[in-house]
Each structure stands twice: as C-alpha cells, then as structure tokens.
Structure 1
Amino acid sequence: MREADETTRQRLTDALRTRPATPSELASEFDLTTGSILRHLEHVARSIDGTDEQMLVSPPRCRDCGFDRFDDRLNLPSRCPECKSESVAEPVFTVERARE
C-alpha cells in the first residue's frame, strides 16, 4: 500500500506542475475522495519542502462577501465565518519552481 500512496502522490505532484487544480478536480481525476486528496497534498507539500519547488495555494474564498482569510488553507470550509454563506470556493493548488 505504501508504494501505491507514493505513486498517487507523485502523480498528483506531476499534475500540479502542469496546471493549478482544486481538490474536487483532483479527486475526480484520480478517483479519490477530496479528504484523501487533501491528506496527499499535505504530504506533497512536506516532501517538496527544501527542494527547488514549492506548493502554492490560492486560499478558499467566499463567493458572497470575498472573505479569504481562512485559518487552514488545506481544508474545505463549509461556510464563511464572516457572512455565514455556504458559497465558498475551494482552494486552488499548484507546484512551481521556487523563485530566488
């Protein structure tokens, strides 16, 4: 099972190198749950730390009031803490070369 996890994480990393994606898009592409994708993304972020790459995260954003200062960017909030709306856009992830 460990080998399968590494393969999935490598494929996720490769996908994020080519284009930004939300957890739902990745879950659909890799036939996994969004929770599983988020756990894999946490590991990917740790594994590329200290390399010439970095994971960039565009935070979740409330579609109604624009709030985007969520505490945990590796999470799918169910509603906005500011206006209580349930219309919250997912975070968007990408992997890029670190700029010096």
Structure 2
Amino acid sequence: MREADRTTRQRLADALRAEPATPSELAAQFDLTPNAVLGHVEHISRSLDRSDERFLVAPPTCRDCGFDDFDDLLNLPSRCPGCKSEAVTEPTFTIE
C-alpha cells in the first residue's frame, strides 16, 4: 500500500511501532496539533486491544517533584497536582 493511501492513524501507529514518541513529536512529524494526536492515539490504543500488540505509555512526570501518578495518561497535563509546577513532561507512547 502506498504511503498516500494510508490513514493518519495507520501512519501514527507505524511511527509508534518504529520508536517511542511524545504527542508534540508526533504532531510535528504529521502536521497535526498535539490534541489531535491524542485523539488518534486513544483510538489506536482501543483498536490494539483486539490484537497481539501492546500500546504502552510512559506517564508524564513533574520535573520538580517527580510526581508521575496522573489520572489520565492520554492527556497533556498543564501542571503537577502535587507541587503545582508547570514543569511537566509529556507522556511517551509506543507500540510493541
């Protein structure tokens, strides 16, 4: 199948099979917004539930206090609920 014939979700899934990436990295690579990437990634994760592949998420982490117990891993937190710092990394996604 030609690259032009593949859907955005198929191309995102292929990129995540190749290497881990954050929403911002995927957004830049595929000319999307990070929030659009999160919507696609959520759908990809649900569709992989029916296959032998696993969708893995490295959670966001606060650079100041180390907090990493965020409720929603498919989200871009604006600040840490522990120390209220805005120095929070993005989640990193991969498919194995």
Is TM (by shorter chain) over 0.5?
Answer: yes
Counterpart position of 1:45: 45
Write the distance in 1 (CA, Å) between the matches of 2:38 and 2:27: 9
What one-letter code is carried by the residue in structure 2 that aligns with 1:24? S
Q: Offset at 1:7?
A: 0.4
Write the distance in 1 (CA, Å) between the matches of 2:80 and 2:48: 30
Write the distance in 1 (CA, Å) between the matches of 2:35 and 2:67: 23
What one-letter code is carried by the residue in structure 1 that aligns with 2:29? E
SS in 2 for 1:88: coil
In the alignment, structure 2 segments of 5+ residues that lack a partner are: none
**Pairs within 5 Å for 1:8-87:** 8-87=8-87
Write the distance in 2 (CA, Å) between the matches of 1:47 and 1:72: 18
Report the TM-score when normalising by structure 2. Answer: 0.93
Write the distance in 2 (CA, Å) between the matches of 1:91 and 1:44: 15
RMSD of aligned Cα (Å): 1.2
Q: Offset at 1:54?
A: 1.0
**Of Structure 1 and Structure 2, which has the larger fraction of its residues in strand?**
1
| 1:62-81, Cα deviation, whole Å (9 max, x unpaired) | 00000000000000000000
Report the TM-score when normalising by structure 1. Answer: 0.89
Runs of 4+ in structure 1 displaced over 4 angstroms?
none
What one-letter code is carried by the residue in structure 2 that aligns with 1:45? S
Write the distance in 2 (CA, Å) between the matches of 1:32 and 1:18: 19
Q: Offset at 1:50?
A: 1.9
